[in-house]
Amino acid sequence: MSAVRLEVGDRPEAELITRAATALLADEIVLLPAEGVYGFHALASSATAVERIRALKRDTRAGFIGLIAHPEDLDRWAHASPEALELARRHWPGAVTLVLEARPEAPASLRSEDGTIALRCPGSALLRGVVQEVGEPVLSTSANRSGEPAAREADDAPAGVADLTIDGGPLDGRPSTLVRVGPKGVQILRQGAVQLGDGSLDGPRAGP
């Protein structure tokens, strides 16, 4: 199947959501505008699509970010402490990604070697609609090869990867803020679109 490109604004959002969800359910990779950069997206349960993304990233150890449609889905895939639930209540939907202890039923593609999972209920209504329509977590990773800059425009993403591209125009380049909530408390792993205070970097995930 040849790659398809659609423009945000040229078609109703409901049509874009359906087209993206249909592609994901067919084990395809979809390039979508995420919080502030473009991301490659796949069903977290799709072994075919996940392996294609891992080949691009050249890293088989790191977990990817998982997108969920509703804040209340958090506790289904992760052990959410009161601190994590409060962060979700305050910042979701939005550009904050929470790194928590994964539940055993969480998709393997989203679990890191240390047993954690990174989850976000995205601020984008388009992204939330896609995740809701497919009915399961969607893997999200920045649309770039390892070590290269994140894509602020759809054309910045590596060619030949996405089966479907939804072009939302230029983005501001700010990824989600990455926060670990665990036995050591709340740690800022990456400052992004939402400023939560001081924190040290501790191994960023491969997602927007």
84-143 confidence digits (pLDDT tens): 999 999 999 999 999 999 999 999 999 998 999 999 999 999 999 999 999 999 999 999
What is the number of alpha carbons within 13 Å of residue 171 lying toward its C-beta? 29
pLDDT of 186 higher than 60 = yes
Q: How far is 196 from 33, CA to CA, in rounded Å?
A: 23
pLDDT of 11 higher than 50 = yes
Q: Residue 133's pLDDT is what?
A: 98
Q: What is the CATH number of domain 4-190?
A: 3.90.870.10
- For residues 173 and 29, the model is more confident at 29
Question: What are the structural domain ranges in the chain?
Answer: 4-190
Cβ neighbours of residue 184 closer than 8 Å, sequence gap 6 or more: none
pLDDT of 16 higher than 70 = yes
Confidence of residue 2 (pLDDT cuts 50, 70, 90): low
Q: Residue 3's pLDDT is what?
A: 86
- For residues 1 and 40, the model is more confident at 40
Q: Residue 189's pLDDT is what?
A: 87
Average pLDDT, the chain: 90
Residue keyed to tokens 């958090």: 74
Cβ neighbours of residue 57 closer than 8 Å, sequence gap 6 or more: 141, 145, 146, 206
Residue closest to 58 by CA, chosen among 148, 152, 146, 189: 146
Q: How far is 24 from 162, CA to CA, in rounded Å?
A: 11
164-167/30-33 β-pairing:
parallel
For 103, other C-beta atoms within 10 Å of its C-beta total 14
54-93 confidence digits (pLDDT tens): 988 876 555 699 999 999 999 999 999 999 999 999 999 9
145-161 confidence digits (pLDDT tens): 888 899 999 999 999 99
